[in-house]
Chains A and B, each alone.
Chain A
Amino acid sequence: MSTIVATLATDRARRPRAALTALLAVAVAVGAPFYFAPFQVFQLTMVLVYAVALAGLNLLVGFGGQISLGHGAFFAAGAYTAAVMLDRYDTGHLATLPVAAAGCFLLGLGFGVPALRLRGLYLALVTLSFAVFLPPLLKRLEPVTGGSMGLTVDKLQPPAWSGLAEDQWMYFVALTVAAVALLLARNLLRSRAGRALLAVRDNESAAEVMGVRLSLHKTLAFAWSALFAGVSGCVYTWVIGYVSPDSFSFVLSITLLAGLVVGGLASLYGPLLGAAFVMYVPSWAQDISDAAPGVVFGLLIIVVMFVAPTGLAGLVGRLRSLAARRPTRTTPAPDRTPESAPDTDATSASESSAPPTPADPAPADAEPVGAPPRTEKE
């Protein structure tokens, strides 16, 4: 009983704290472009752009348990949709976003159908070979895509009323898109479709018995995930103003997956950490040598899989719960002597033992990678 009371108390105590954190985050996010130099603002913008793609990949890999080594292809599809529309039809920037989103949604839907019959390894094979195939295809479709020269289009220009510089305006646009995308991903996971997706990931057979339509939800996961990647690619074109087949080689797909794994699979803010990783680590490591980013990336992926399968995001949660667990072992159980236990200990104890409340994102963060093995290996 007292645990419940304690939970309610911490929940009530946590709400203003959470609101404060959110407010602080918003303040930092809004203030950043006025504080940093234009190049740094550009880098932050790119982090936000990648975060959208990673949020989409997370829906598929982290929450859906399906593997994609070809998400760079959807990213490229979104980027090229925007570039071609701007280049040939001169529709303003804003018009390209819904088209890229819808186009990639359909593309993902189309890809999701064969994906139904492929699981695990085979899906990884097909998506990887798709990612390898795309750049030569883009080069071939020269009349539309500009071939290997690529397309140069206008960057997003700030409207006169805003009084912002180009980099600041693009940052705010990317921030808006990323915020909407992350919120959408969060809400999607709490909807009927999201719960169905988690059920499918954790145990396909059980989910099917419960009445979840496997084919529908697995295909939809692919489609949503492709939509996010497409939107991300579209904003990429707005920010960079240039697309070429070589920017979307299969290395991009692998980098996206690597970023997500390091950031934290099946975590809500893992994509943000992963995107920062994808953006900054290569540029830091590049100073050492051309090959250094790959060495760091590859090593980190393996190490993360060994020691922290929940990625950076999960690491924070794990450390917190580890710190929380320590004192409870030494102090008496809080529900027997709630008064004698120090206040902080009672809070942390209830944090680790309390049943997950639906409004709490932590359980999703703390979940292990992917699904538990579907079928026991003999």
Chain B
Amino acid sequence: MSTVTELLQQVVEGVGSGAVYASLALALVLIHRFTGIVNFAQGELAMISTYVAWQLVASGMSFWLALPVTLAVSFAGGMLIERLVIRPVQNAPELTMVIVTVGLFIFVNAMAGLIWSFTVKDFPQPFPDGGIDLAGVRVDWSTLGIIAVVAVVMGLLYLLFQHTSVGLVMRAVACNPASARLSGIRVGRVLMLGWGLAATVGAVSGVLVAPLLFLEPNMMGGVLIYAFAAATLGGFDSPVGAVVGGLLVGVAETLAGAYVDVIGADLKVGVPLVTILAVLLVRPQGLFGRAAVERA
């Protein structure tokens, strides 16, 4: 295998894992746009959604039937969490909201352990084995499937936000909640909807990553850090940025692990740390984000 094909192979694998980071980053960005907070529990919500899918499949349901059910459950769960946990601290200082989502993180993580125990579970691979060969670069069906699913989710979100009346209302709330409320929009409901959507998108990332990582309560911890890096890189208020950021972080991580000896497989988790630090120091608004202008 020539050096170039090897490099391309690594890039393809990077894009595959990057697509998963992108979908979780998308969930983070959605919530950040609507409520202005970074949801530290996003990964754990995705993890528990994945457990729901696993439970359904384990009880005999086919994967492609279990998926929509899981997404619906996640949607309802996200709405419920917004109403019960986030709404009461909506106007509290940032510190309080961070602590509440960290509390949610710990709680959800432990609940999954309580219900399904901490033993690793095998998650069914929804995509067929094997792959196709593109000029010596092998692309697995699973990688292609992940990319396709994330692209579909992106497309649906785009259609929702740009071409439906619900999307218009949601954009209005994200843009200016007070003004939206004055024009008769039920802001609370829209926020619930936003959290529901984010939980659904997060659930997609959990289901996609579970066959690769094996299912256990701490599965999403690492993915979350990458998603943070992706969202920071793309800009916390840009959905497009989240996807581009996710792909870039995925490729960077794979390449750094493969070609930089000092990093290797074990220190790959340093890549998101460096990414976050570098972006925040050089271009805090991210690649696609708008710089926040603040009146003190």
Contacts and interface: CB of A to CB of B under 8 A. Distances in A.
A374 to B, nearest CB: 8
Interface string A5-27: 00000000000000000000000
B276 A258 contact: no
- Mostly, the A contact residues are helix
B213 interface: no
B21 interface: no
A118 B236 CA distance: 14
Interface in B178-200: 178
A302 B103 contact: yes
Contacts of B149: none
B126 interface: no
B95 A371 contact: yes
B151 interface: no
B258 to A, nearest CB: 17
A370 B102 CA distance: 16
A297 to B, nearest CB: 5
Contacts of A118: 280, 284
A139 B221 CA distance: 19
Interface string B209-220: 000000001000
Nearest to A302: B103
B28 to A, nearest CB: 10
Nearest to B106: A298
Contact of A369 (B93, B110, B177): B93
Contacts of B277: 114, 126
A137 interface: yes
B223 to A, nearest CB: 11
B281 interface: yes
Interface in B85-132: 85, 88-89, 91-96, 98-100, 102-114, 118
Contacts of A375: 294-296
Contact of A290 (B91, B94, B108, B118): B118
B272 to A, nearest CB: 6
Interface in A51-96: 61, 65, 67, 69
B36 A377 contact: yes
A158 interface: no
B272 A129 contact: yes
B54 interface: no
A305 B284 contact: no
Contacts of A298: 103-110
Contacts of A161: none
B129 to A, nearest CB: 31
B173 to A, nearest CB: 12
B229 to A, nearest CB: 7
Contact of B102 (A132, A254, A291, A300): A254
Interface stretch (B61-69, B72-80, B134-142, B262-270): B262-270
Given A129-B228, A137-B270, A290-B118, A302 B100 contact: yes
B105 A254 contact: yes
A314 interface: no
B37 A121 contact: yes
B94 A121 contact: yes
A182 interface: no
A256 to B, nearest CB: 11
Contact of A120 (B40, B98, B105, B228): B98
B96 A132 contact: no
B38 interface: yes
Interface in B9-67: 36-38, 40
Contacts of B270: 133, 136-137
A205 B118 CA distance: 48
A124 interface: yes
B95 A67 contact: yes
A265 B247 CA distance: 39
A370 B266 contact: no
A302 B104 CA distance: 7
Contacts of B105: 254, 298
Interface of B: 36-38, 40, 85, 88-89, 91-96, 98-100, 102-114, 118, 176-178, 217, 221-222, 225, 228-229, 232, 266-267, 269-270, 272-273, 276-277, 280-281, 284, 294-296
- Please name the 6 residue pairs, one residue from A and one from B, whose CB atoms are nearest each other, closest first: A294-B110, A298-B107, A301-B103, A291-B113, A298-B106, A370-B95
6 contacts: A126-B280, A133-B273, A295-B111, A301-B99, A301-B107, A373-B94
Given A69-B40, A370-B94, 19 more contacts: A65-B95, A69-B98, A69-B102, A114-B280, A122-B280, A124-B38, A129-B276, A140-B266, A254-B102, A257-B99, A289-B114, A298-B105, A298-B109, A301-B99, A302-B103, A309-B96, A370-B93, A370-B95, A371-B93
